[in-house]
Amino acid sequence: MTPPAPAELRVMRPVGPLVISIEGVTKLYQMGEETIHALRGVSLEIRRNEYLAIMGPSGSGKSTLMNMLGCLDTPTSGRYEFNGNDVAGMVDDELAEIRNREIGFVFQTFNLLARSDALRNVELPLIYAGVPRHERHERARLALESVGLADRIHHKPNELSGGQRQRVAIARALVNRPSIILADEPTGNLDSKTGVEIMDLFEDLYDRGNTLIVVTHEESVARHARRIVRLHDGLIESDRLAE
């Protein structure tokens, strides 16, 4: 049984308020003698309930941009505001708070804790958020139900299929009701049939009012998004709505 989502999330908002605003962002890496310009001045705005794909060949700065958007990394220069908060100047623990409250990560390799069951895995962000045990259990269980894993909550990752593991990861991303869900090649480790199922789930999440950012190099995955941003050589090459 899928529990009813909160009422305001069921309302479709084609264009919501601004969530992410970055302007003139650059990122330099020092690799031995060489300085690598991973991002050379990127500006981007993402609004609530958008479904965005970020595409680009390897070395285009796609991963760097994703790390930046996910508050895992800070820009060398430029402005980054997340829900109006200046992220560019934040220190490690402040970034950790933002990641915990505002961002749900979905990784290509799922990144589940091998020795913990699905429920425990999904509870983890709530532990870091300081949610009491009883509420934690309840919310994690609901999140797992919402991705169709109500009957698998006590299975460990090695007792689940690849698609089920990614669903656990998605439940974990959803559980703290983040502002954005950031998925890095979410179907990269799945066969095509399971990949389609996961993309259907993303579609469903989008319909439920979530904001999705999917980083991928697969056109078939990007095609599900409503807007596609293409990177090339550290710059945005194109930013247009998908057909």
For residues 166 to 185, the per-residue mask of contacts with another protein, x marking binding by CB under 8 A and - elsewhere, is: ------x---x---------
For residues 123 to 142, the per-residue mask of contacts with another protein, x marking binding by CB under 8 A and - elsewhere, is: -xx-xxxxxxx---------
Q: Are residues 66 and 73 in contact, defined by beta-carbon separation less than 8 angstroms?
A: no
Residues 192-211 within binding reach of another protein (CB under 8 A): none
Count of positions (residues) in the chain: 243
Q: To the nearest whole angstrom, how small is the minimum distance from the Cβ of residue 19 to another protein?
A: 18
Residue 51 CA, chain-centre distance (Å), reads: 11
Comparing C-alpha atoms, which of 73, 93, 69, 70 is closest to residue 28?
A: 73
Residue 100 within binding range of another protein, rule CB under 8 A: yes
**Taking the CB of residue 126, how many other CB atoms lie within 10 A of it?**
22
In the list 101, 156, 226, 232, the residue contacting another protein (rule: CB under 8 A) is: 101
Q: Are residues 48 and 19 in contact, defined by beta-carbon separation less than 8 angstroms?
A: yes
- Using CA atoms, how far residue 227 sits from 97, 236, 243, in Å, is 28, 13, 9
Residues 15-74 within binding reach of another protein (CB under 8 A): 67, 70, 72-73
Nearer to another protein, 2 or 77 (CB): 77
Residue 115 within binding range of another protein, rule CB under 8 A: yes
Q: What are phi and psi for residue 19, nearest 5 degrees?
A: -105, -50
Q: To the nearest whole angstrom, how small is the minimum distance from the Cβ of residue 73 to another protein?
A: 5
Q: Are residues 44 and 20 in contact, defined by beta-carbon separation less than 8 angstroms?
A: yes
Chain contacts with another protein (rule: CB under 8 A): 67, 70, 72-73, 92-93, 96-97, 99-101, 105, 107, 111, 113, 115-116, 124-125, 127-133, 172, 176
